[in-house]
Amino acid sequence: MIIDYHSHIKWDRRNNHYFVNELMEDMEKNKIARRVVSALHGKGISKQNNFIANLVEEFPEKLIGCAVINPKEYDCVDEMRRICSMDCFKAIELDSLEHNYFPEECDALDEVFELAGKHNLVVNVFTGWGCRTMPAQWAYYAERHLNVKMVFLHMGTTDFGYGCVELVPKLENVYVETSCMYELPILRKAFSKINHDKFLFGSHYPHKITKCSIDTFDLLNLSETTLDKMYFQNSARLLDL
């Protein structure tokens, strides 16, 4: 059984259309039992989060809601409070690449993390690709908010993959998500140094091909126990499913 911890839903700007059928068909095709999904694009973050809330309500046995918060927006804390008041979200996503900010300079983030801890929401953060996405920038918040579970999406990818491997074992409340990490030397080192209870499988659908994300791990000769943890058990425990 597979839980896909990290996916988005494709959006057509011209028609304001989200490709729901394609999302669900991809899950069936790749034997994904459940999928964490967020909407990075749309007519505004509140509307995007509302769409995900309605989608989770429509497919409660298949989809797990992840809200998007942009700490650059004036009302981001109000939106975070609104998300916390809803029962359809298990996590939030902070994407410093998509929204173009330096994490350590966003003074609203501490309040966002405080609310996440109070309401038991996991905080997913973008890592990899550029000076706004370094794992160390997010470690600053992990160390300040030890009661908050944080996930380094993409494991730092090729830009910061090795640094992520060195950093995560020092941070008890931080997990790693696997999408977009195809560098086998980094992955081998990661599985040798990071507790296997901290790995979460993700596809980054629709930006990446789900089957490629799964097939990557056929090359690493991982034990069935480790694969079961990464594909299912760790996400189920983290999200309290």
- Rounded to 5°, angle at Cα 199 from 197 and 203: 150
pLDDT above 90 for 200? yes
Is residue 181 within 8 Å of residue 155, measured between CB atoms? yes
pLDDT band at 88 (very low <50, low <70, confident <90, very high): very high
pTM for the structure as a whole: 0.94
pLDDT above 90 for 60? yes
Q: What is the pLDDT of residue 177?
A: 97
Q: For residue range 155-172, list pLDDT tens digits in order.
A: 999 889 999 999 999 999
* Average pLDDT across the chain, whole number: 95
* Residue of 11, 1, 8, 41 whose CA lies nearest to 154: 8
CA distance 52 to 45: 11
Domain of residue 73 covers 2-238
Q: What is the pLDDT of residue 158?
A: 85
pLDDT above 90 for 33? yes
pLDDT above 90 for 102? yes
Burial class (CB in 10 A: 0-12, 13-18, 19+), 29: exposed
* Percent of the chain predicted with pLDDT > 90: 90
pLDDT band at 207 (very low <50, low <70, confident <90, very high): very high
Which tokens go with 115?
A: 């609310």
Residue ranges of E strands in 9-79: 11-12, 17-18, 32-38, 63-68
Q: What share of the chain is helix, strand, coil (3-state, %, to 5)?
A: 45, 20, 35
The domain total for the chain is: 1
Query: Residue 62: how many CA atoms within 13 Å on its side-chain side?
Result: 17
Query: Residue 241: how many CA atoms within 13 Å on its side-chain side?
Result: 21
Mean pLDDT of 51-56: 97
- Three-state DSSP state, 29: helix
The CATH number of whichever domain residue 186 belongs to comes to 3.20.20.140
Q: What is the pLDDT of residue 89?
A: 97
Q: What is the pLDDT of residue 79?
A: 97
